């Protein structure tokens, strides 16, 4: 089976490509290397330099014939999306339309889409299951929701089957150390904690400690990228076998506070990690935790690496080696 991974040189995309390779698939990575890196490419996978904003080029590449396409090419900084909505509309919405149309013209029958918990907005109840109302509070979440809705129509009208996989907080690195690329200018908590541990940053901020949580800092559901990646493969197999689209929430179903993350990282890395409490970051809900019952049931998904220690340790190994921390 041939799989095209669009955005496969990125942090999550490279783990997805790795998982398909490990399961014996023939993988091609398509990426414009704007945020992804050649360091995340694998010898066993073909590489096509390409841009989702170039529909003709996309069509040519996709015409090669694939059984499925995984789409992870997007802008993903929720805060930035509120300042530059036009960039997010272009890349995330128009870019996906280019991909969907190219898939239709190339006769690619299955699409795996990288969606986000951001489609739900502030939780009305916890844990967040698939039935939860969808009211994104940032433009990034809106783009992901629009694409999900677009895919529903493409399925209905053209029979293009899709799996929307809604990530909660993706974290961790391949535990075998096969992926070593770092994200430039990270905005997410764990990479920032790691850069601080590695001494690349002098210190970090904790955005607010007056939330109604056990230690006053925000609770998030961190899920290992290799666990997310495994779900992409089983979702593809589900589409092939059942010929039925699906949308699933993927998280570890466990909440971790910002302070708990930092404290455990201090213990595991044996580094100082100076952190000062600053004001709240606008748009941060107090708590986000997934229900992944549906993925467990339909995809027989079982997180293997999403415990806090594996998340931190697998990430630290990569940062430690990149920054030569002894």
| Residue 59 interacting with ligand UFG (CB under 6 A) | no
Lookup: tokens for 166: 């809604």
Q: How far is the CB of 42 from ligand UFG (least distance, A)?
A: 25
Q: Residues 64-103 vs ligand UFG: string with x where CB under 6 A?
A: ------------x-x-------------------------
First to last CA, the chain: 43
Q: Residues 28-57 vs ligand UFG: string with x where CB under 6 A?
A: ------------------------------
Among 66, 113, 162, 168, binds ligand UFG (CB under 6 A): 168
Q: What is the DSSP string of 269-293?
A: HT----EEEEPPPTT--SB--B--H
Only one residue has tokens 């066993």, namely 44
Measured CA to CA, the distance from residue 42 to residue 173 in angstroms comes to 15
| Residue 201 interacting with ligand UFG (CB under 6 A) | no
- Kindly state the DSSP code that residue 6 receives in the 8-state scheme: E
> Cα 51 to the chain's mean position, in Å?
19
Measured CA to CA, the distance from residue 324 to residue 326 in angstroms comes to 6
Among 206, 228, 246, 247, binds ligand UFG (CB under 6 A): 206
Among 192, 233, 250, 318, binds ligand UFG (CB under 6 A): 192
Nearer to ligand UFG, 154 or 173 (CB): 173
Measured CA to CA, the distance from residue 278 to residue 147 in angstroms comes to 35
| Residue 165 interacting with ligand UFG (CB under 6 A) | no
Closest by CA to 316, choosing from 262, 253, 275, is: 262
Closest by CA to 16, choosing from 235, 199, 207, is: 235
Q: How far is the CB of 288 from ligand UFG (least distance, A)?
A: 5
Lookup: tokens for 114: 């990288």
| Residue 128 interacting with ligand UFG (CB under 6 A) | no
Instruction: Please indicate whether residue 238 is annotated as part of the active site.
Output: no
Total chain residues near ligand UFG (CB under 6 A): 21
| Residue 265 interacting with ligand UFG (CB under 6 A) | no
Among candidate residues 66, 88, 140, 173, the one labeled active-site is: 140
| Residue 220 interacting with ligand UFG (CB under 6 A) | yes
Measured CA to CA, the distance from residue 101 to residue 16 in angstroms comes to 23
- Segment near ligand UFG (CB under 6 A), from 11-19, 48-56, 184-192, 239-247? 184-192
CA distances from 182 to 37, 202, 257 (A): 8, 18, 24
Query: 3-class SS at 190?
Result: helix
Q: Which spans of this chain sit near ligand UFG (rule: CB under 6 A)?
A: 76, 78, 116-118, 168-169, 187-189, 192, 204-207, 218, 220, 258, 281, 284, 288
Q: Catalytic residue positions?
A: 140
């Amino acid at each position: 089976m041939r799989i095209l991974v669009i955005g496969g040189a990125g942090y999550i995309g490279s783990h997805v490509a790795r998982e398909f390779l490990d399961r014996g698939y023939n993988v091609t990575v398509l990426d414009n290397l704007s945020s992804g890196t050649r360091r995340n490419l694998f010898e066993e996978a073909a590489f096509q330099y390409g841009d989702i904003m170039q529909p003709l080029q996309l069509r040519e590449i996709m015409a090669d014939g694939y059984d499925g396409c995984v789409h992870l090419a997007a802008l993903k900084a929720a805060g930035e999306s509120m300042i530059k909505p036009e960039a997010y509309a272009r890349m995330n919405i128009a870019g996906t339309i280019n991909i969907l149309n190219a898939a239709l013209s190339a006769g690619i029958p299955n699409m795996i889409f990288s969606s986000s918990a951001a489609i739900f907005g502030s939780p009305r109840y916890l844990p967040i299951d698939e039935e939860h109302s969808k009211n994104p509070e940032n433009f990034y979440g809106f783009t992901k929701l629009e694409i999900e809705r677009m895919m529903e129509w493409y399925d209905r009208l053209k029979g293009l089957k899709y799996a929307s996989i809604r990530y909660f907080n993706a974290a961790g690195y391949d535990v075998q150390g096969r992926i070593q690329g770092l994200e430039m200018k990270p905005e997410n908590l764990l990479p920032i904690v790691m850069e601080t541990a590695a001494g690349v940053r002098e210190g970090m901020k904790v955005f607010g400690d007056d939330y109604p949580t056990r230690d006053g800092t925000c609770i998030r559901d961190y899920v290992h990228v290799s666990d997310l990646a495994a779900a992409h493969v089983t979702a593809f197999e589900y589409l092939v076998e059942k010929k039925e689209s699906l949308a699933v929430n993927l998280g570890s179903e466990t909440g971790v506070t910002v302070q708990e993350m930092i404290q455990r990282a201090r213990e595991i890395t044996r580094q100082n990690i100076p952190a000062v409490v600053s004001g709240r970051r606008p748009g941060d809900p107090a708590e986000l935790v997934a229900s992944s019952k549906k993925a467990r049931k339909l995809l027989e998904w079982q997180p293997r690496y999403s415990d806090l220690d594996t998340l931190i340790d697998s990430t630290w190994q990569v940062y430690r080696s990149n920054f030569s921390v002894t």
